[in-house]
């Protein structure tokens, strides 16, 4: 049942993004994914299944995860006007992976 609630949560966020993108407040669609919905969900799950120290570790890693996200956004900002949208998006996602992988690797060491 928990997975159903999680799926509904995700669908609700996708719906909000879609709705905002059709209004004069279209730019809020970029803020909606940053609402800590999924972070809160992750924190609840880790809190229920792991120790407080593991929860703190998850929170700290979440803070560091802003680095690959920033790299993605910066890449999109500069590429979106220079090449087709999907090429920009795929390139930016690839950059996100390039920045995120070392972060995960270093965290595990």
75 and 42 housed in the same domain: no
Nearest-angstrom CA–CA distance, 59 and 53: 10
- Say whether both 73 and 28 belong to one domain: no
Domain-located, residue 59: no
- pLDDT in 10s for each residue of the chain, 109 residues: 778 887 887 888 889 899 999 999 898 888 887 778 778 888 999 999 999 999 999 999 999 999 999 999 999 999 999 999 999 999 999 999 999 999 999 988 5
Residues 1 and 47 in one domain: yes
pTM over 0.85: no
Number of domain units in the chain: 2
Return the CA Rg of the chain.
Answer: 16
Q: Is residue 60 situated within a structural domain?
A: no
Helix axes 52-64, 85-108, angle to 10 degrees: 140
């Amino acid at each position: 049942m928990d997975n159903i609630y999680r799926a509904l949560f995700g669908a609700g966020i996708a719906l909000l993004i879609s709705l905002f993108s059709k209004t004069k407040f279209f730019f809020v669609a970029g803020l909606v994914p940053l609402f800590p919905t999924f972070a809160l969900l992750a924190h609840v799950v880790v809190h229920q299944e792991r120790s407080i120290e593991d929860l703190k570790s998850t929170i700290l890693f979440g803070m560091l995860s802003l680095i690959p996200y920033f790299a993605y956004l910066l890449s999109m900002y500069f590429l979106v006007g220079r090449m087709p949208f999907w090429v920009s998006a795929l390139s930016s996602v690839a950059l996100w992976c390039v920045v995120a992988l070392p972060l995960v690797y270093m965290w595990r060491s």
